[in-house]
């Protein structure tokens, strides 16, 4: 059975929906951020960015992505920027079905402020220009995200999404 890759901006729901979808389909769930942390000996994403820079992080991210073999019944929550570097979107599409969780920058801002997460190196919840930054990244990344096999606007029920996936599996 094909893998399912969830792509989209940070706080778009990739991990939350991914876990639920994996349970519904009896697939295994993995989060590429966790795989990167493991590959880097437990260092956080923020630490990797601060110590080695974004270019190094994107290299590690791409290497980790390429360890995911096609047809292994996985639901994969990708990092927000993963599809946008090193031709990763092409690999994602080759290794499974891709789903873009299309959430507006305004909704992303609400979610980030609600959860007050500080583990996103490119998005600081305390930054007064966060909405502007989210809009810019969303616009920059949309070209890559919209290459996905399915585009799901906003929130979607897991059973509904599972039904939409049936023709692809």
Give the per-residue pLDDT at 119: 60
Q: Which pLDDT belongs to residue 124?
A: 67
Question: With 80 as the cut, is the pLDDT of residue 14 above it?
Answer: yes
Confidence of residue 120 (pLDDT cuts 50, 70, 90): low
Domain boundary assignment for the chain: 3-164
Question: In what side-by-side order are the strands of the sheet with 96-102?
Answer: 28-31, 74-77, 3-7, 96-102, 150-153
Res. 156 pLDDT band, cuts 50 70 90: confident
Mean pLDDT of the chain: 91
Gap between the Cα atoms of 139 and 101, Å rounded: 14
What is the per-residue pLDDT for 10?
Answer: 92
DSSP per position, 93-125:
HHHEEEEEEE--HHHHHHHHHHHT----TT--T
CATH topology of domain 3-164: Rossmann fold (3.40.50)
18 close to 75: Cβ distance less than 8 angstroms: yes
| pLDDT computed for residue 126 by the predictor | 72
Q: Is 148 helix (H, G, I), strand (E, B) or coil?
A: coil
The pTM assigned to this predicted structure is 0.92
Look at residue 19 in the predicted model and tell me its pLDDT: 96
43, 44, 108, 123, 125 from 135: Cα distances, Å: 29, 25, 10, 11, 14
Residues of the chain with pLDDT > 90, as a percent, come to: 74
Q: What is the mean pLDDT of residues 81-106?
A: 96
Question: Is the separation of the CB atoms in 116 and 93 below 8 Å?
Answer: no
For the chain, first and last CA: distance in Å? 6
Backbone CA torsion sign across 1, 98, 7, 14: negative
């Amino acid at each position: 059975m094909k893998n399912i890759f969830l792509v989209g901006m940070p706080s778009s729901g990739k991990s939350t929906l991914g876990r639920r979808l994996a349970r519904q389909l009896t697939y295994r769930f993995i989060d590429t951020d966790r795989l990167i942390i493991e590959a880097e000996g437990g260092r956080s994403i923020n630490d990797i960015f601060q110590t080695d820079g974004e270019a190094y992080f994107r290299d590690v991210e791409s290497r980790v992505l390429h360890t995911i073999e096609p047809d292994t019944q996985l639901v994969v929550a990708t990092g927000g920027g993963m599809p946008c570097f090193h031709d990763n979107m092409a690999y994602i599409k080759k290794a499974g079905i891709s789903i873009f969780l299309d959430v507006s920058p305004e909704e992303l801002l609400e979610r980030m402020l609600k959860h007050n997460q500080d583990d996103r190196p490119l998005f600081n919840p305390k930054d007064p220009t966060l909405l502007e930054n989210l809009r810019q990244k969303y616009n920059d990344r949309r070209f890559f995200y919209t290459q996905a096999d399915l585009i799901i606007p906003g929130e979607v029920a897991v059973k509904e999404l599972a039904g939409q996936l049936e023709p692809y599996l």
